């Protein structure tokens, strides 16, 4: 459905380096990385909101940069909450938004307003940060898009609203015809809904895999400081010491170096934390 190949973008203090990945039809891909790792820059460059230095993006079998207007008819995009035109009523913003999409559905839009508890007569400045996010999502979902791209969609939402939104994401892809790519630094949001994980660190993709397979290929290792030999250190991705011992991240293929030690299956947050430590190391 979406293929990104060798996407590069250089700024004075930051660089995207040959970003390559795919979003497969009928699946949810979670895009993770620490703040400043390059998630938003990747999405903006990918969608030609900022110019790329090199690389290609293909969506629905078409080169996005050559067929941008046509391709974007089938992409629903949301970046943060709706903070533009703060004194304008949201029904007016929706009317302008609808003008650009040939498949805009007023019925679908109204259904999402009702689902999210949004009053179309309110001005943007009268919405909470969570409601601004919900409004932006309602716009993105109301023109029969086949690919949804959301940048930090759960930011600013309370736990109940976040859970409802993630349930909605699962509903969207149920028919197998639509896909979602969404970035987040809240890795727990991906535990229940993501099929694939795309992991970026300092402008470089360091992992792209099925979520369960990515997690299964790593183990947390715990032990006393006396057990932290130089051989083990060299095979750990990274580790942290306390007065009681150490915890480290190890690839499962290297588990022989931790024989007899306590091991656990990591979560996505563990992977982010320890891979960040690896870079600093």
The string of pLDDT tens digits covering residues 218-250 is 999 999 888 888 999 999 999 999 888 999 999
Q: How confident is the model at residue 79 (pLDDT cuts 50, 70, 90)?
A: confident
Q: What are the residue boundaries of the structural domains of the chain, listed by start?
A: 2-213, 217-280
pLDDT at position 280: 54
Query: Sheet of 218-223: strands edge to edge?
Result: 238-241, 246-251, 218-223, 262-264
φ, ψ dihedrals at 5, nearest 5°? -130, 120
* Residue 278 reports pLDDT greater than 80: no
Least confidently predicted of 44-58, 129-143, 202-216, 236-250? 129-143
Give the pLDDT band of residue 86 (cuts 50, 70, 90): confident
Mean pLDDT of 66-77: 92
- Structure tokens belonging to residue 200: 């970026």
User: Which superfamily does 2-213 belong to?
Assistant: P-loop containing nucleotide triphosphate hydrolases (3.40.50.300)
What's the rounded Cα separation, in Å, for the pair 24 and 22? 6
Please state, in angstroms and rounded to a whole number, the distance separating the CA atoms of residues 26 and 34: 26
How large a percentage of the chain has pLDDT more than 70? 96
pTM of the model: 0.87
Give me the mean pLDDT over the 197-209 stretch.
93
pLDDT of residue 251: 94
Retrieve residue 176's tokens.
């197998």
279 pLDDT band, cuts 50/70/90, is low
Say what the pLDDT of residue 149 is.
Answer: 93
Residue 207, Cβ density class (10 Å: 0-12 exposed, 13-18 middle, ≥19 buried)? middle
């Amino acid at each position: 459905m979406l293929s990104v190949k060798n996407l590069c973008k250089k700024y004075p203090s930051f660089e995207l380096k040959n970003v390559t990945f795919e979003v497969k039809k009928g699946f949810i891909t979670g895009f993770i990385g620490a703040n400043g790792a390059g998630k938003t820059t990747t999405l903006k460059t990918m969608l030609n909101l900022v110019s790329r230095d090199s690389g290609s993006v293909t969506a629905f079998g078409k080169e996005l940069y050559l067929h941008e207007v046509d391709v974007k008819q089938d992409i629903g995009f949301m970046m943060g909450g709706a903070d533009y035109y703060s004194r304008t009523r949201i029904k007016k913003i929706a009317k302008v938004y609808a003008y650009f999409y040939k498949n805009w559905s007023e019925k679908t839009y109204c259904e999402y307003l009702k689902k999210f508890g949004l009053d179309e007569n309110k001005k943007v400045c009268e919405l909470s940060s969570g409601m601004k996010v919900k409004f932006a999502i309602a716009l993105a979902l109301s023109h029969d898009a086949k690919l949804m791209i959301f940048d930090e969609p759960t930011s600013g939402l309370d736990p109940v609203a976040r859970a409802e939104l993630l349930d909605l994401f699962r509903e969207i892809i149920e028919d197998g015809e639509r896909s979602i790519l969404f970035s987040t630094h809240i890795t727990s949001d991906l535990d229940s809904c993501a099929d694939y994980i795309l992991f970026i660190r300092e402008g470089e993709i360091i992992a792209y895999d099925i979520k369960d397979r990515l997690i299964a290929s790593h183990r947390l290792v715990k032990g006393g400081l006396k057990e932290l030999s130089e051989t083990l250190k060299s095979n750990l991705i990274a580790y942290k010491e306390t007065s009681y011992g150490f915890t480290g991240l190890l690839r499962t293929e290297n588990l022989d170096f931790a024989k007899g030690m306590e091991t656990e299956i990591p979560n996505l947050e563990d992977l982010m934390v320890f891979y960040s430590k690896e870079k600093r190391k």
